[in-house]
Amino acid sequence: MLWQRAQEPHAHRWSLPGGALGDREDIEASIKRQLAEKVDVRQLSHVEQLSVFSAPDRVPGPRVVATAFLGLVPSDIDPEIPADTAWFPVDGLPETAFDHRSIIHKARHRLGSKLSYTNLGFALAPPDFTISALRELYSAALGYRVSATNLQRVLSRRGLLEPTGDTSPPGPTGGRPAALFRFSARGILVTDQFAVLRPPSGGRPAGAGATS
């Protein structure tokens, strides 16, 4: 999510929402306030500090040190956002202000890493979901298409998924209703600290995907 700057420096470029730390607030309280005030986002399922960006020339004029956070909004939440704010695909970013492009790519790398060795998928998914829908979320976050079968196998082996006993409503073309699942815990857990979700190998057909 980016918002378009109205003032110099870098007026009219797209930037990550943020701002100065208040005198009487900590950093996490500040980022939640900035999101609420500037882009009207108030429902975050996960927030964690990403990194400190301190290059002397990262912002024109007086030196500014930034602490960036990774914040996730559940996929079933569609917040009303102001006219100067928009969602962009990470692979199709507009011209961004300052070093915000590199911050975004660092955040995506962090998210992909966390999906490999934790249960962080809970922060992206709605309470109940089909494996196909979960596959779409993981594919979007990782930047490549994963196999629904392999994803279910890996997450089930780690004890992260449990069936709800219900099925999804039939689609417009009918067909067999898909089983609904939920994450067994909706708080961050390290499940396999050495695990890596890998993209498809060159020998696989396009879209096959693989996880390990």
Domain that holds residue 74: 1-117
- Whether 97 and 29 map to the same domain: the answer is yes
- Whether 177 and 130 map to the same domain: the answer is yes
What domain count does the chain have?
2
Other C-beta atoms closer than 10 Å to the C-beta of 118 total: 19
- Whether 3 and 78 map to the same domain: the answer is yes
Question: Could you list the pLDDT tens digit for every one of the 212 residues in the chain?
Answer: 999 999 999 999 999 998 888 999 998 889 889 888 888 888 889 999 999 999 999 999 999 999 999 999 999 988 888 899 999 999 999 999 999 999 999 999 999 999 999 999 999 999 999 999 999 999 999 999 999 999 999 999 999 999 999 999 876 666 788 999 999 999 999 998 888 888 876 534 333 344 44
The per-residue pLDDT for 5 is: 94
- Whether 202 and 132 map to the same domain: the answer is yes
- Whether 97 and 149 map to the same domain: the answer is no
| Two structure tokens written together for 200 | 């498809």
- Whether 107 and 187 map to the same domain: the answer is no
Global pTM reads 0.86
- Whether 136 and 52 map to the same domain: the answer is no
CA atoms of 107 and 57, how far apart (whole Å) = 21
- Whether 25 and 13 map to the same domain: the answer is yes
Look at residues 186, 200, 76 and name the one whose alpha carbon lies nearest to residue 130.
76
The per-residue pLDDT for 210 is: 42
The per-residue pLDDT for 111 is: 96
- Whether 110 and 125 map to the same domain: the answer is no
The per-residue pLDDT for 174 is: 65
CATH number at residue 178: 1.10.10.10
Look at residues 146, 128, 131, 132 and name the one whose alpha carbon lies nearest to residue 184.
128
DSSP state of 35: H
- Whether 113 and 166 map to the same domain: the answer is no
CATH number at residue 26: 3.90.79.10
Give the three-class secondary structure for 96. strand
Residue that is last in its domain, among 117, 134, 157:
117
The per-residue pLDDT for 209 is: 42
